[in-house]
Structure formats: C-alpha cells, structure tokens
Copies of this chain bind each other. A is one copy, B any other.
C-alpha cells in the first residue's frame, strides 16, 4: 500500500465548468498506484468538484440555468454580498454540489464511466486560480 499527495492549480476563466479528468490522469502516472482511490479536494467555498456528462456541452448550459434558479444572483434577500451579486450564490452552489470527490483508480487511471467527466465548476463571474489537493491511496 502506498500514498501520494500533491497539489494542482487550475486557472478558471470565470463561471463555468472545466474538465480536469485528463490533468488528474496525467499526474497519476507518477503515483504508480494501479488500484485504489484518488481523493480530489478543492480548497475553496465558491467553486465545486463535480462529475457530469462530458459529451454534450448543452448539459452544462442547462445545469447552469437550474443552479441560477436555486440560488439567484443578486437576490436582495442575501445579507452576504460583499464581493458582488455572485458571492453568496457561489457559496450555495458549492455546498449543493460539493468540494470533494473520491474516484476509483483501476489500471493506473481514473475509472470513470463512459460519459463521465470530472469538472471543476467555477461559480464566480471572474477568473480565479483554484487549488486542488489530490491524495492517492492504493497499491
């Protein structure tokens, strides 16, 4: 059994989803873990780690529409709006979709389903640098 922990940085281009499956898979080659679990953790409360259908980009368009329904930007009822209309909605989206995910590693790579991609979802309007801590445990 072995453990490998490392950080990765991703530059988002504002609100929207970034497929990071390949970035994680590339780095897994160095871990030399063939079978185990990769725990992928985002150190932020206004972005998410999310599994989503990765074939049709309109899935992300429709998802964005529903997230905006659940937590509307600039809702006058928000008390927490220091950083703008997208501040509090970003926290709510982050909580509902989560900041961490664990994925099985099989034959040295993420064992995702055929149409499953791992996305970093930026909930703020502006681009941000986001830090991800990955911990790989296996053999």
Chain B: minimal CB distance from A45 (Å)? 4
The verdict on A115 contacting B59 (CB below 8 Å), with A101-B100, A133-B104 known, is: no
Closest to A88 in B: B62
Interface bits A83-114 vs B (CB < 8 Å: 1, else 0): 00000100110111111111110100001111
Which one of B43, B113, B135 lies within 8 Å of A113 (CB-CB)? B43
Across-interface contacts of A100 in B (CB, < 8 A): 51, 101-103
**A53 x B91 contact (CB < 8 A):** yes
Contact bitstring A24-48, B, C-beta under 8 A = 1, else 0 = 0000000000011101011111100
Which residue of B46, B50, B102 is within 8 Å of A95 (Cβ)?
B50
A49 to chain B, nearest CB (A): 10
State in angstroms the CA–CA spacing of A114 and B42 once bound together. Answer: 11
Using a Cβ–Cβ cut-off of 8 Å, how many residues does chain A contribute to the interface with B?
A: 61
Complex Cα gap A95–B66 (Å): 11
- Known contacts A41-B104, A43-B111, A45-B51; decide if A62 and B116 are in contact (CB<8 Å): no
Q: Tell me which residues across on chain B come within 8 A of A39, comparing CB atoms.
A: 37, 102, 104
Q: List 10 A-B contacts (CB under 8 A).
A: A37-B135, A43-B112, A45-B53, A51-B100, A59-B80, A59-B91, A62-B92, A96-B97, A99-B116, A100-B101
